């Protein structure tokens, strides 16, 4: 892709109220633009990253045996009323009416809808487990959206659901999803700490938040330095019915000290028991022909929040440093200066990349070399190729890497080997 033709360029200046690094860099780098408070457009560079996040998560869900589906954004309000979640979500929920005055909730989450969907199939014990997931827009009317993609009013989420005939089967599959989340985080180059959390308006028997340590995070988790038990601060104080401070004694082992850590909630898994199946009358037919309520779990990851979390943990003072498998392109190619020799070699290298199927962002703009090099750092693609009069005089092209200061001038014919070595 020629950068001169891309929609959504880098910005030199951004609003002063944009404070978090991920928000600043995603806007400056041309990945996102705010449409209104808490609502963002994902621009072409951002979409390429988002698509890779989706593919990584989707592949792991399919590996578990989950089937991808799509469901409506508008949920009949009656579905939410069955569990009183219209009241639990309160002002967070968007409610609209159609021309027949029927009320619908803009999906903030989809447990009730999925329960109704499975119920309508009249399943028997032979049909389980049922494992389904989707990638869809969610809507929550947050009072104070903040941090760019970290807390928004509209966002894409991977929400997965599992349905079971016994509590033991649900627990077994909950652990499988738990383990899959750890593997997904590793694939995204995120270090997560699973913590016992409060289920809030989602409901259920128990759940875990997957936290990423970050000074920019708005959440606190608490971990014992001795027994390594971990909770969200909200959950710990609710269970123990008391306030805690950093350094207090662990209520579980009583010998270790509690450490408070600021963090970002990246993912969330819920063992929901029969919280939904009983009020929804969602049953299955067992081996004896009897009707019994389902057991279910729910498992969520925000796609935009994942992008922002990766940037929060992968940047320096120059810009983003994308992990190899999330970068919008494999190569950032830049030509410096007006020399015809430079232009011809850059065009040839660009053509070679395209012919061998390598995704490449080619900065072919007629702007100052310093601006191109700054944008190269800002956008954050890990493998970079710079062609200039100096590089040609030194023997070819300059290859550098976003995560270190090393650069080498090599013959253009060697780029492919270096690229393959870098990405394997």
pLDDT (tens digit, 9 = 90+) per residue, 50-74? 999 999 999 999 999 999 999 999 9
First to last CA, the chain: 23
Flag whether pLDDT at 201 surpasses 80: no
Do 224 and 258 meet the contact criterion of CB atoms below 8 Å apart? yes
Q: What is the Cα–Cα distance from 182 to 179, expressed in whole angstroms? A: 5
- pLDDT at site 199: 74
Query: Model confidence over 311-325: pLDDT tens digits?
Result: 999 999 999 999 999
- pLDDT at site 249: 94
* Domains defined for the chain, CATH in brackets: 3-313 (3.30.930.10), 331-422 (3.40.50.800)
pTM of the model: 0.94
Averaged over 84-90, what is the pLDDT?
90
Closest CA to 71 of 107, 120, 122, 119: 107
Do 23 and 146 meet the contact criterion of CB atoms below 8 Å apart? no
Flag whether pLDDT at 278 surpasses 70: yes
Q: How confident is the model at residue 263 (pLDDT cuts 50, 70, 90)?
A: very high
Least confident of 61-70, 154-163, 194-203, 318-327: 194-203
DSSP assigned state of 4? G
Q: How confident is the model at residue 205 (pLDDT cuts 50, 70, 90)?
A: confident
Averaged over 288-294, what is the pLDDT?
98
Tell how many helices (H) and how many strands (E) occur in the chain: 13, 21
Burial of 189 (0-12, 13-18, 19+ CB in 10 A): middle
Is the peptide bond preceding residue 129 cis, with omega within 30 degrees of 0?
yes
- What SS3 class is residue 223? strand
DSSP bridge partners of 233:
none
Strand 39-42 and strand 32-36: the pairing is antiparallel
Task: List Cβ neighbours of 381 (8 Å cut-off, separation of 6 or more).
Answer: 322, 327, 328, 329, 330, 331, 332, 361, 402
Percent with pLDDT over 70 in the chain? 99
Do 257 and 247 meet the contact criterion of CB atoms below 8 Å apart? yes
- What SS3 class is residue 243? coil
């Amino acid at each position: 892709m020629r950068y001169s033709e891309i929609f959504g360029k880098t910005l030199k200046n951004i609003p002063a109220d944009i404070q978090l690094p991920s928000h600043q860099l995603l806007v400056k780098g041309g990945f996102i633009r705010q449409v209104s408070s808490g609502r963002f457009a994902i621009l072409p560079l951002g979409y390429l990253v988002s698509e890779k996040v989706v593919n990584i998560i989707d592949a792991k869900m399919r590996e578990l045996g989950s089937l991808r589906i799509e469901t409506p954004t508008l949920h009949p309000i009656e579905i939410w009323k069955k569990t009183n979640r219209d009241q639990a979500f309160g002002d967070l929920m968007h409610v609209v009416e159609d021309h027949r005055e029927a009320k619908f909730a803009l999906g903030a989450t989809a447990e009730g809808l999925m329960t109704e969907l499975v119920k309508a199939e009249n399943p028997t014990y032979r049909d389980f487990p049922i494992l389904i997931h989707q990638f869809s827009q969610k809507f929550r009317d947050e009072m104070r959206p903040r941090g760019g993609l970290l807390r928004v009013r509209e966002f894409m989420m991977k929400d997965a659901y599992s349905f079971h005939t016994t509590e033991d089967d649900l627990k077994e599959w909950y652990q499988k999803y738990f383990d899959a989340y750890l593997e997904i985080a590793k694939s995204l180059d995120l270090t997560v700490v699973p913590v016992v959390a409060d289920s809030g308006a989602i409901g259920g028997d128990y759940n875990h938040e997957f936290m990423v340590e970050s000074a920019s995070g708005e959440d606190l988790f608490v971990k014992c330095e001795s027994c390594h038990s971990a909770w969200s601060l909200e959950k710990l104080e609710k269970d123990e019915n008391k306030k805690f401070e950093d350094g207090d004694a662990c209520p579980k082992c009583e010998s270790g000290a509690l450490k408070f850590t600021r963090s970002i909630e990246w993912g969330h898994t819920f063992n929901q028991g029969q919280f939904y199946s009983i009020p929804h009358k969602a049953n299955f037919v067992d081996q004896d022909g009897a009707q019994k309520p389902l057991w279910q779990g729910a498992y969520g990851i925000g796609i935009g929040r994942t992008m922002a979390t990766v940037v929060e943990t992968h940047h320096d003072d120059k810009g983003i440093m994308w992990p190899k498998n999330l970068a919008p392109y494999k190569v950032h190619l830049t030509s410096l200066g007006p020399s015809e020799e430079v232009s011809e070699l850059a065009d040839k290298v660009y053509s070679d990349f395209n012919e061998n199927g390598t995704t490449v962002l080619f900065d072919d703009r007629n702007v100052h070399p310093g601006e191109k090099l700054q944008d190269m750092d800002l956008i954050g693609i890990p493998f970079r190729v710079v062609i200039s009069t100096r590089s040609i005089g030194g023997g070819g092209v300059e290859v550098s890497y976003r995560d270190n200061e090393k650069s080498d001038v090599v013959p253009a014919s060697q780029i492919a080997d270096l690229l393959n070595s870098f990405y394997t």
